Amino acid sequence: MGQGFLSNKNTGQGLYSDPIYITENRNGDVIVSDSWRGAVVVTDRDGNYRFSYTGRRSGSGLDPRGICTDALSHILVCDVWTESVHMLDSEGHYLTAIQTQQHRIDNPWGLSYDDVTHLLWVVSYTNKVNIYRVVDRDSLTGLPLEDFKCRKHPSHPLSQFCIPCDVTLCQMCIRTSDDHKRHDVRDVEKLFREMHKRKGS
């Protein structure tokens, strides 16, 4: 975990250099990604500095972009430097990472966590979208970072999402199987935009 920065809690002077994304955790913490300092900076609800995260290991570096938190108060942050999404606990300790480059998501830039389905939406700088499960929807106790890769048709991108089955699919899955014939199947990118619209309304 990275070292902290001194700050004035009323003015923020010295705390942030180039804050670009901000979110609030369930415990009331305010979490900011600062690209210039290469850090995720966390304060409590009163603006008192708590900690900074600057990468998995000391000196490893971080180029943070989008941030969000999940149902267990984990902090998730896009790291352009390693092309991955880092997951931290609420105290800033590194837990694991999603290697987005393996799933055709270069330069992960934006994140959104859906409180209903407990899915993490990751969007790249070039507007590609992928979906990951980061907590178990039923128990909310595990930390499986299972992605929704199409094992049947690995050459086809996961572009569809079946609402009742809670699963991402490729076009070939839909064409060759009757399992989702009468289900509500949506285009991943359109569903992503709709979700953001609902959150903004």
Q: Go through the domains of the chain in sequence order and give each one's CATH number.
A: 1-147 (2.120.10.30), 149-201 (3.30.160)
Reduce the DSSP state of residue 193 to 3 states and report it. Answer: helix
Q: Which residues pair with 122 in a beta bridge?
A: 111, 130
Mind listing the pLDDT tens digit for each residue in 160-183? 778 777 677 788 888 888 888 888
Candidate from 53-62, 80-89, 104-113, 130-139 with smallest mean pLDDT? 130-139
pLDDT tens per residue, range 110-155 = 898 887 677 888 888 877 777 777 664 433 333 333 334 566 787 7
Distance separating alpha carbons of residues 10 and 27, to the nearest angstrom:
21
Strands of the 19-24 sheet, one edge to the other: 19-24, 30-34, 39-43, 49-53
The pTM assigned to this predicted structure is 0.62
Q: What is the pLDDT of residues 31-41, one digit of tens each?
A: 999 988 899 99
